[in-house]
Structure 1
Amino acid sequence: MNLISLFLFAAGSLLAPSTQKPVPNQKAGIEKEVFGQMPDGRDAHLFTLRNAAGMEVKLTNYGGYIVSCSVPDKAGKQENVTLGVPTFADYLKGTPSFGPIIGRFGNRIAGGKFLLDGKEYTLAANSNGNHIHGGRVGFDKKLWDATPVNGPEPALKLHYTSPDGEEGYPGTLSVDVVYTLQKDNALRIDYKATTDKPTVLNLTNHAYFNLSGMKRDVLNNVVMIKADKFLPTSKAQIPTGEIRPVAGTVFDFRTPTEVGKRINDTTETQIRYGSGYDHCWVFTDQSKKLKLGATVYEPESGRFMEMFTTEPAVQLYTANHLNGKLQGKEGVLFTRRFGLCLETEHFPDSPNHPNFPTTTLRPGEAYQSTTVYKFSVK
């Protein structure tokens, strides 16, 4: 090749569209800024966690919300994949649980009542006569103490002490939740808690994921759940106590299946009760080890999410009640089925079902739970 040909070849190479993905070039760490003010004047903060691979997660110590989670698609384009509202004031107004810590008890407790050691406790009946997600002022509405942890895997440690009797729950509960942005584009959530009186506890995070980057609903998402059973519910979405095999039902996600394939099968009573999927899947592996529980694949963006957990179950909720009245940070209206939740958990209404894994926590015991959401492309 002569010099002129070499020059033309080089120029053409520079002008040709690149097929390579952008190389991340950011320093891992965590930044803190004021997000807004609580009604009593206290500052709520926004924490931005970044890893060297290019992933970014924004969290607030108000309710422990995942405000955004930016990950690359198959072309390397960074986009937010969790539903959130534009301002702190919007979070204060309330959301359909767009990514907060849920406690003391994630999901439902029938009639807002349960027996523990022979004593009946009454909780707030904040959902059609039942208790849901910790009550009227649950952990999602508390300002948590926050400790940033800088380093190659930045983390945010949140602490809250829930007083005895709060929302009707017994015992003073000390809770720590640590969000860690790992090197491999995984967001890890570690929960720990202790109590000074017997109580019940079922912590989770209620993030809505939209792996398209807010471009479309989740009906094309391909979901796999490593669960051979699920919990049927009453019309009020309270577990009946039955633990039913998924085989032969619209709840069988043991092989990857599009969310939209069977979600409108109204011949299935349970689909009618939930207006879609809003049920608890019971993992085949009931061990407390960190195990793969579910995966989600968004074909157009190529984004792939793996969910690992130490919990025995997961609630898949397909945003059946979003109605287009809320607008996200990206200016997109959140319409029905615009996201999906994978809420790792013990079973709903466990305190009222002796055949369910216990959610009782006693003095001297330590509640520990871990969930990991890992992002990649394929």
Structure 2
Amino acid sequence: MTQPSLQRDIFGTLANGEAVHAVTLTNAAGMSVRIISYGASIQSVCVPDANGQFADVTTGYADIAEYVAQRQYFGATVGRVANRIAGARFELDGKVYSVPANDGVHSLHGGDVGFDKVNWTVMACDAEALSVTLSHISPDGDQGYPGKLTVTATYQMHPENALSVHYEAVTDAPTCVNLTNHAYWHLGGEGAGYDAMDHVLTIAAEQYLPVDATLIPTGERRSVVATPFDFREPMPIRKYVRSNADIQLTHGSGYDHNWVVDEEVTREPRLMAHLEDPVSGRTMTLLSNRQGLQFYSGNFFDGTTSGKAGKSYRIGDAIALEPQMFPDALNQPAFASIVLRPGQVYSNVIMWRFGIGW
């Protein structure tokens, strides 16, 4: 057994002299997680394999300079609006708003300076609860979005080798919010000598959202039955990921789609996905109270960036599973609204449970 602990240190310094803080949470089982204030990001997650050997199972950089220079969203909190907004514009209460087009003609993950590119404030650390709360105030007009938005992210370590984050947000004027965490996972270790495509994935969803050639949902909810998108039973990602078995797989050079887990936001997190690495035996179970789950199979890693273990990240070296509302909801009335109004509280709870086997 390990003595549970919470340790604070400085991860690095930004060009303006501002310190980037790091908080490392360790539970009695020895699992450790490092959270950094830049992007309110998960920088490392170390968990044991079937033989008790620990490895860091999430992608990330070794120093702050790389986080600033690169745009991979490693472990970051993304917002105000995660995923894509078609045409980088939307209408709210009769007024049209324009936001940065940083993904072709579309806006992605909050724009040029989204929440992943700001240094959040460490508001509170609780050594007994093994938690850290970070906050960020996004002013009215930030990246084109209306209303001053106040956001908190509370990360907490749990005894059963689980990590959670609770996002909350309030606004002083009507705005839109769709936050998520953009961690990438390789359960063999981010420096492993094999990719993540033989990981076995289960997604608790009977439908997914087809996309056009620019990865914007068409508005259709399509059954996963008899398609490469049917992960209701465990399936190796590699089976279809680079195939031409479905035109949908060619749009994003693999999986980059949202699954419909539920039609409603729930009070408590429920099962979204389960991931298993047959080599190390590590598993991860993902829960959230959101409706949708974006699964991205690391299609555009090109070997130009290196992670903490010094290994270049190449196509398929890690995957992202992002609980969120449906992409482009602002422009698709058939999708649940992501509008937040004064007096309301946005809440997204995500939990990752790590183990061995199912």
- Where on the TM-score scale, by shorter chain, does this alignment land: which range? over 0.9
Secondary structure of the residue aligned to 1:91 is helix
- Whether 2:35 is the aligned partner of 1:59: answer yes
In structure 2, relative to structure 1, the CA distance for the partners of 1:287 and 1:121 (3 Å cut) is closer
8 Å contact from structure 2 (residues 199, 277) kept in 1: yes
Q: How does 1:30-41 map to 2 (within 5 A)?
A: 30-41=6-17
CA RMSD in angstroms, aligned pairs only: 1.1
- Whether 2:183 is the aligned partner of 1:207: answer yes
- Whether 2:285 is the aligned partner of 1:291: answer no
Ranges in structure 1 where 5+ consecutive residues have no aligned partner = 1-24
Alpha-carbon distance in structure 2 between the residues aligned to 1:94 and 1:48: 23
Could you say which structure has the larger radius of gyration?
1
Find the partner of 1:376 among 352, 355, 358: 355
Find the partner of 2:300 among 300, 305, 321: 321
Query: Shift of the alpha carbon at 1:286?
Result: 3.7
8 Å contact from structure 1 (residues 30, 148) kept in 2: no
Kindly tell me the number of residue pairs found equivalent between the two proteins. 354
- Whether 2:247 is the aligned partner of 1:269: answer yes
Secondary structure of the residue aligned to 1:369 is strand
Runs of 4+ that moved beyond 4 A:
none
Quote the sequence identity (%). Answer: 39
TM superposition score normalised by structure 2: 0.97
- Whether 2:101 is the aligned partner of 1:125: answer yes
Query: Shift of the alpha carbon at 1:112?
Result: 0.6
Query: Which deviates further from its counterpart, 305-314 or 32-41?
Result: 32-41
Q: How does 1:93-242 map to 2 (within 5 A)?
A: 93-213=69-189, 214-215=191-192, 216-242=194-220
8 Å contact from structure 2 (residues 38, 119) kept in 1: yes
Q: Tell me which residue corresponds to 2:26.
A: 50
Ranges in structure 2 where 5+ consecutive residues have no aligned partner = none
Amino acid paired to 2:201:
V
Q: How does 1:299-314 map to 2 (within 5 A)?
A: 299-314=278-293
Query: Shift of the alpha carbon at 1:334?
Result: 0.7
Find the partner of 1:280 among 233, 258, 276: 258
Amino acid paired to 1:334:
Y
Amino acid paired to 1:307:
L
Query: Shift of the alpha carbon at 1:148?
Result: 4.1
8 Å contact from structure 1 (residues 158, 178) kept in 2: yes
Alpha-carbon distance in structure 2 between the residues aligned to 1:231 and 1:224: 17
8 Å contact from structure 2 (residues 303, 313) kept in 1: yes
Q: Tell me which residue corresponds to 1:342.
A: 321
Query: Shift of the alpha carbon at 1:284?
Result: 4.5
**Cα deviation per residue 1:125-178 (whole Å; 9 max; x = unaligned)?**
111010000000010011111034233431110100100000000000010110
8 Å contact from structure 2 (residues 228, 245) kept in 1: no
Amino acid paired to 2:152:
D
